[in-house]
């Protein structure tokens, strides 16, 4: 299925090691555009939810992408599609994924749902151009589960969720499979693979994979602006920690994300000090609490910590990291997800301790670890 057929004339791609996406226009640089279409990279097809050139005073931000082909292939293998199965896709995007599914089981057995009307219309045109038979493209919020009727055998989501919509379980037959990218406030990485049960619940595991943009319904209402959270009048508590900020990112991301709900982080060079000085920020999406850990360019044995608010976020992060290290530094494939019929959802680890964390609904539920070793000044 030709990928370039589903890309708009203007796309963006993040260069290796670069931060700002590079704009590539087919009409200006056709060779570069076609080369990009068949590279194993994610290609941004929409920014700012379609408000091109209007980022609210800031830089353009990606809102839809044609996923990396190798990641698409892995997720389709995880979906485990068989002949004559009915498939619901949540997040049409460019339409390429829906075309691949239609090629496998037939266009009449694929329904794809897209919340963005412009993206849905463009995908509908491009799918129709492939021939008389095309998957049905529905403009709707996929968080609501899409069209009603006969249940689907498979449900594939192409955006990350922080909580599985219960409507998806209702749309999937017992014994069916749901594959969706997963995210926490801390990180977005990997996918959940769930099997639905006769009683309307579901259980499954996580598998490594690429990071996806969040579903629109799961990115609203969050406070992730540092200037909003950290105020001049705040007087933080001072302390020191032996836990390096580099230790709580990377391999530990998934565990910390589920154990410290609602917390996000970023790195910031210290200003106006030398560039070697760095500061690691942690804040909560409620906008009530924050912490920062400073590296002065020389001392790696301990770091200065400042914490403010009702949540002692660095204490929570340090304790989650200590637990993760104590059980062998597990990857996300050592965790499982359960969705019960009463909408209770939980992530659990397969260690003998049976550690388990609730998946937050509207408000984070903090998992309490034993007191961490941050030293107060």
Give the active site residues: 67
| CB-side neighbour CA atoms (13 Å) of 131 | 10
d(CA 312, CA 289): 7
Q: Are 48 and 32 in contact (CB under 8 A)?
A: no
SS3 371: coil
CA distances from 247 to 205, 242, 243, 341 (A): 25, 10, 7, 37
SS3 266: strand
Closest to 186 (Cα-Cα) out of 280, 269, 114: 280
d(CA 151, CA 176): 9
d(CA 258, CA 163): 11
Q: Is 278 exposed, middle or buried (0-12, 13-18, 19+ CB in 10 A)?
A: middle
Unique residue bearing structure tokens 């589920």: 258
Tokens of 283: 């804040």
Closest to 330 (Cα-Cα) out of 246, 252, 267: 252
Q: Are 169 and 180 in contact (CB under 8 A)?
A: no
Tokens of 70: 């190798």
Q: CA triplet 217, 344, 286: central angle to 5 degrees? A: 50
Query: Which distant-in-sequence residues (6+ apart) come within 8 Å of 353 by Cβ?
Result: 327
β-bridge partners, 278: 269, 295
């Amino acid at each position: 299925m030709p990928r370039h057929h589903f890309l708009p004339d203007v796309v963006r791609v993040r260069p290796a090691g670069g931060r700002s996406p590079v704009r590539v226009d087919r009409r200006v640089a056709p060779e570069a555009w076609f080369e990009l279409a068949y590279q194993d990279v994610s290609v941004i097809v929409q920014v700012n939810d379609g408000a091109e050139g209007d980022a609210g005073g800031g830089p353009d931000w990606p809102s839809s992408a044609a996923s990396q082909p190798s990641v698409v292939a892995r997720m389709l293998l995880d979906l485990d599609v068989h002949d004559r199965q009915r498939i619901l896709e949540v997040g049409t995007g460019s339409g390429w994924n829906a075309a691949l599914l239609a090629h496998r089981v037939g266009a009449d057995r694929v329904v794809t749902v897209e919340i963005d009307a412009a993206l849905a219309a463009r995908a509908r045109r491009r799918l129709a151009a492939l021939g008389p038979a095309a998957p049905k493209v529905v403009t709707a919020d996929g968080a609501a589960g899409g069209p009603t009727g006969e249940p689907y055998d498979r449900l594939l989501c192409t955006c990350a969720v922080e909580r599985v919509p219960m409507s998806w379980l209702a749309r999937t037959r017992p014994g069916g499979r749901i594959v969706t990218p997963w995210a926490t406030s801390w990180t977005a990485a990997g996918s959940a693979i769930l099997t639905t049960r006769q009683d309307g619940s579901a259980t499954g595991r996580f598998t490594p994979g690429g990071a996806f943009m969040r579903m629109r319904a799961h990115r609203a209402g969050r406070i992730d602006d540092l200037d909003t959270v950290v105020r001049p009048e705040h007087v933080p508590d001072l302390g020191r920690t032996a836990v390096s900020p580099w230790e709580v990112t990377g391999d530990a991301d998934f565990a910390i994300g589920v154990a410290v709900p609602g917390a996000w982080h970023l790195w910031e060079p210290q200003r106006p000090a030398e560039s070697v000085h760095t500061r690691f920020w942690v804040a909560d999406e409620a906008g009530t609490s924050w912490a920062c850990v400073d590296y002065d360019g020389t001392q790696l044995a301990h770091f200065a910590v400042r914490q403010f608010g009702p949540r002692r976020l660095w204490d929570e992060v340090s304790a989650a990291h200590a637990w993760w290290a104590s059980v062998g530094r597990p990857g996300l494939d050592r965790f499982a997800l359960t969705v019960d019929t009463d909408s209770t959802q939980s992530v659990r680890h397969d260690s003998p301790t049976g550690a388990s964390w609730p998946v937050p609904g509207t408000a984070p539920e903090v998992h309490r670890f034993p007191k961490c070793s941050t030293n107060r000044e």
